[in-house]
Amino acid sequence: MSYERLKEVLEKLGESHLQVDRVLLVKFGCICLRDEASSSGMSGTHGMALLVDETKGPTPHGYISQALEKHGNVFDLKVVGEEEVSRLEYAEDNCMFVNGKTFFLRVKLPLRLQKYQKEKELAGISLPIEEFLVVSNGSLYATFAEIQEYPAVTFIGQEYREILAAQIDNETPFKHAVPGPSPIHPNFYIAFRKSTNHPLIGRRIYSKGNDIFVVMDRDKDPRMDEARATMLFFEIKFDLLQFYRTMMDQHVLDDRNELLLDEFSELGESFEEIAQTSLLHLLKRRKLAASARTTLSNIHIALVEHDRMLLEITRDRNRLLKQVKDNTILVPLYSYFHDSTQSEAGIPESLSPALEHFDAELQTFKNIEAVVLASIVGAGVGALLTGLFTRMW
């Protein structure tokens, strides 16, 4: 095992006289569920949290654990905890985050079955990981494995994500959705000090770039190493869940913004067609104008919905960033969470005056139609009267 580079990095960060005994690499990720069958009847669920009794029939949490047990490369799945309920939290677009009992499992995945084998080859990984552990509460998960060298490039987080996604899609009534970078880009290293006769030092946390280093004394019982990784999961899981909810809402808002702008383009095309249609084709112009009014109305409704979502996302994002600041493990990654949740997409400022212009144009078209109709009616009445007077005289 070559930990000299890691030792050098940690000593520069302030860890003195370090003797590394073992290192675990932890990757955190998340997948949420979408119920395609009932999503049409579940509007207005954003921000809703439901408690589901785990003792009464199949639940989303139960579906996930049972689906994973059926996978040929998943072993030793064990659900722990005494909770009889799981918590379902909804983001926009009815994306459901499952937060229930903790379960553990082991994945044994030969290199030939790994989907990211080519990426491993490109990264020049000399010691591929073919077995790793997972701790999860349903949607959130942490994958971890012992590494033999630092820095380490691994795709265990992606490999588990692929297994989980496939099992959800194939073995449950739900479909999976990936609410953001899964796993998140930062690496979490747990470095265990070699046991010595000196007093225990305790846990220390360092960071370099997007790497977090948790250095701690090693327990006499080697099985406690994995327990330490599990505790890391518990310490940050609520903040990560907030991060993924915010990311999912942001993705939905971005998608809706694109649809809104598409409708605006459609509106512009309608006006161009109206302008190119002769006044002699009055019925066609009226039909085009009616369609344009409907599109314009839809855009105004979408703008109101956009503002509502933006307020909620801003509120949730501010709450997330405060939680990150208050978390001793995640606070070095504040910039990562800040930048990841900051959307570059938005509604152009020129959209509102453009809509006002189109609204005025529709009114102009309506006025012109009224004049044309009045002229036609007037001409008809005039012709009728002329004919009557001619006959009378």
Helix axes 282-326, 224-276, angle to 10 degrees: 160
Residue 317: its pLDDT value, please? 95
Within its chain, how far is the Cα of 158 from the centroid?
15
Asked whether the predicted pLDDT for residue 340 surpasses 90, the reply is: yes
Asked whether the predicted pLDDT for residue 322 surpasses 70, the reply is: yes
Average pLDDT estimate for 72-89: 82
Helix (H) or strand (E) holding 214: strand 211-217
Average pLDDT estimate for 73-83: 86
Beta carbons of 85 and 52 less than 8 angstroms apart: yes
> Among residues 24, 18, 5, 379, which one has the least CA distance to residue 223?
24
Helix (H) or strand (E) holding 205: strand 204-208
With H, G, I as helix, E, B as strand and everything else as coil, classify residue 334. Answer: helix
Q: Grade residue 44 by pLDDT with cuts at 50, 70 and 90.
A: very low
> Is 197 exposed, middle or buried (CB count within 10 Å of its CB: 0-12, 13-18, 19+)?
exposed
**Cα dihedral sign for 50, 53, 56, 59?**
positive
Asked whether the predicted pLDDT for residue 325 surpasses 90, the reply is: yes
In this structure, of 67-71, 170-174, 375-379, the range with the lowest mean pLDDT score is: 375-379
Asked whether the predicted pLDDT for residue 199 surpasses 70, the reply is: no
HEC letters along 107-141: EECCHHHCCCHHHHHHHCCCCCCCEEEEEEEECEE
**Parallel, antiparallel, or unpaired: how do β-strands 187-193 and 211-217 relate?**
parallel
HEC letters along 52-102: EECCCCCCHHHHHHHHHHCCCCEEEEEECCCCCEEEEEECHHHCEEEEEEE
**Parallel, antiparallel, or unpaired: how do β-strands 20-30 and 211-217 relate?**
unpaired
Q: Grade residue 266 by pLDDT with cuts at 50, 70 and 90.
A: confident
How many angstroms separate the CA atoms of 172 and 164, rounded?
Answer: 11
**Parallel, antiparallel, or unpaired: how do β-strands 96-108 and 74-79 relate?**
antiparallel
Q: Grade residue 141 by pLDDT with cuts at 50, 70 and 90.
A: very high
The pair of three-digit structure tokens given for residue 223, joined into one six-digit string: 């099985």
What's the CA angle centered on 264, arms 260 and 265, to 5 degrees?
120
Predicted structure pTM score? 0.83
Beta carbons of 185 and 57 less than 8 angstroms apart: no
| The residue to which tokens 């801003």 are assigned | 314
Q: Which one-letter amino acid corresponds to residue 256? A: R
Query: Which string of b and e fits 72-84 if b means at least 16 CB within 10 Å?
Result: eebeebeeeeeee
Residue 120: its pLDDT value, please? 64
